[in-house]
Amino acid sequence: MEYSDKVLDHFSNPRNVGELTDADGIGEVGSPACGDIMKMYIKVEDGKIADVKFKTFGCGAAIATSSMATELIKGQPLEEALKLTNKAVVEALEGLPPVKIHCSVLAEQAIKSAISDYYTRLGVDPLPIVGPIKDTHCHAHFH
């Protein structure tokens, strides 16, 4: 498994691990059966992501992409955070092995899910703002 130094850094020293008890939005994507779950908590002030925390059950790439994603959206206006793609996360990490790219997709979905929840709590329909969140990360087959 060829993990870049950046990935190993974000894995060994993940940023923003934890929870926000007074979160304005919480998103959880993935599934235990699949071996990957990301949970993101955001605090929104003046339309910006004032604080963000994450918890992840998953492999090295899953933890590193969660950590990098939270770093990239911290302090950003919501509209900017929604523009974050998994490609940007992978680039910021200086690359991921091809078999691990799907972990970055999960990070993107976790952010969208948290922001969706924020809007839902305000009584606003998130769909037109956030768009659909396809949880296609894992195609688990159950025997």
- Cβ closer to another protein: 20 or 129? 20
Q: Which residues are catalytic?
A: 34, 103
State the minimum distance, in angstroms, from the CB of residue 17 to another protein. 5
Query: CB count, 10 Å around CB of 118?
Result: 23
State the minimum distance, in angstroms, from the CB of residue 38 to another protein. 8
Contact residues for another protein (CB under 8 A)? Answer: 1, 3, 8, 11-12, 14, 17-19, 28, 32-39, 54-60, 62-63, 99, 138-141, 143
- Cβ closer to another protein: 92 or 138? 138
DSSP the chain: ----HHHHHHHHS-SSBS--TT-SEEEEEEEGGGTEEEEEEEEEETTEEEEEEEEEES-HHHHHHHHHHHHHHTT-BHHHHHT--HHHHHHHTT---GGGHHHHHHHHHHHHHHHHHHHHHTT---HHHH------S------
- Cβ closer to another protein: 19 or 125? 19
Coarse DSSP helix, strand, coil percentages of the chain, rounded to the nearest 5 percent: 45, 20, 35
- Cβ closer to another protein: 14 or 126? 14
